[in-house]
Amino acid sequence: MPHVKVGTENDNDIKIYYEDHGNGQPVVLIHGYPLNSDSWERQEPELLSAGYRVIRYDRRGFGNSSRPTTGFDYDTFAADLNALLEHLELEDVVLVGFSMGTGEVTRYLGKYGSARVRKAVLFGAIPPFLLKTDDNPEGVDGQVFEGIKAAIVKDRYAYFKDFLDNFYNVDKLAPDRISKQAWRASFNVAAGASPHASYACVDTWLTDFRADLPKIDVPVLVVHGTEDRILPFESTAKRLPDLVANLKLIPVEGGPHNIGWTHPEESNKALLGFLAEDSGRSAGLDRDLTAAARNKS
């Protein structure tokens, strides 16, 4: 299985598992909590059929990646992503994140810039800042997240049951848009994740991305369910058009958190349409010249 080394813990290598399929412009898919990169199975075939190269990877602590007890913060997650892009020598990339993965996309662009990146897509966005504070009254009360951590410590399997019910809005959308079997598959993936990662990732949800957002200079698409119970639309996606210069927001009416699974027609149409658009950015030439200079050096 292909891996890229991103660090060490004691004498053990920390490696990120990835898959790389197809040809054409590279699209990098970054999954959400508590799943792995297989969760993109309703997007990957459409992207491959449309002529894109699709790279997807498992976040540290999840799927087939290493299970360390270090590096569960967005600076490290972004560094892991950067290591993968450098390892594969990718240019003209489209970064596509879901849920926690939208944090990687945002922090990567804020920290590393857009030299390698053409566009970005956020499904079920976690930015700008989920925690309610004096200067962020639209956020969610911190006690909610303390309760989540306590529930994970008490019985993470019971917590995942409740989480995934709200992840898919099972009470409203089952069985037409989320079958018992698909729900069970998600539960099995969640249960197989690192217990440490399952707990440690909760604090990362409270990362403040407000300083990263103004640095984003590529076109951005946000697709978000209006009935998202995990990352409420009003606290997240609705705020982003005022914070990113070139951003298009597509609400999915009645959509839950994982709209990529429950509403693939709307989600894939928005994704493929956005990828096909000519960005029209003059900065694209600057990036091409930067890439050419890098190749000559």
Q: Using an 8 Å Cβ cutoff, are 40 and 48 in contact? A: no
Instruction: Verify whether residue 228 is a known catalytic residue.
Output: yes
| Domain membership of residue 194 as a residue range | 3-296
Q: Quote the number of domains for the chain.
A: 1
Our answer to whether residue 176 is catalytic in this structure is: no
Q: Is 208 a catalytic residue?
A: no
Is-contact 130 148, C-beta < 8 A? no
List for the chain the helix, strand, coil content (%; round to 5).
Answer: 45, 20, 35
Pick the catalytic residue: 3, 31, 224, 257? Answer: 257
Residue of 37, 39, 66, 99 with catalytic role? 99
Q: What do you get for the CA distance between the two ends of the chain, in Å?
A: 31
The tens place of each residue's pLDDT in the chain, 297 residues long, gives: 899 999 999 999 999 999 999 999 999 999 999 999 999 999 999 999 999 999 999 999 999 999 999 999 999 999 999 999 999 999 999 999 999 999 999 999 999 999 999 999 999 999 999 999 999 999 999 999 999 999 999 999 999 999 999 999 999 999 999 999 999 999 999 999 999 999 999 999 999 999 999 999 999 999 999 999 999 999 999 999 999 999 999 999 999 999 999 999 999 999 999 999 974 433 333 444 344 444 444
**Pairwise CA distance, residues 57 & 11, whole Å:** 23
CATH number of residue 74's parent domain: 3.40.50.1820
Catalytic hit among 58, 80, 212, 228:
228
